[in-house]
Amino acid sequence: MVSEDLLEILRCPNCVREKEGNLKLVKDTWLVCQEPDCRRKYPIRDDIPVMLIDEGDKWVSVADEDLPVPPPED
């Protein structure tokens, strides 16, 4: 599980330069960008957030409730 301290400092790598890029923990295995025009979703694998923009792009059109648990390996 990702610690609360880490969640407070992590930001969406796509948004952080121009916006806040706050992330929300979803299903204990996903970090979802809270910016309405972004909504990238970053998987957490083996307790390590995969904060790559390309990874977040893969899941942008998937609704939060439809995200698979655990996140699939590529």
The CATH number of residue 9's host domain is 2.20.25
pLDDT by residue (tens digit) across 12-61?
Answer: 999 998 999 999 999 999 999 999 999 999 999 999 999 999 999 999 99
Question: What band does 67 get if pLDDT is binned at 50, 70 and 90?
Answer: very high
How far apart CA 17 and CA 48 sit, in angstroms, is 22
Query: Range of 23's domain?
Result: 4-65
pLDDT at 42: 98
Total of domains in the chain: 1
How far apart CA 35 and CA 19 sit, in angstroms, is 8
Q: Looking at the domain assignment, is residue 73 inside a domain?
A: no
Q: Looking at the domain assignment, is residue 48 inside a domain?
A: yes
Q: Looking at the domain assignment, is residue 23 inside a domain?
A: yes
Q: Looking at the domain assignment, is residue 10 inside a domain?
A: yes
pLDDT at 2: 82
* Angle made by CA atoms 28, 37, 53, in degrees to the nearest 5: 60
pTM of structure: 0.92
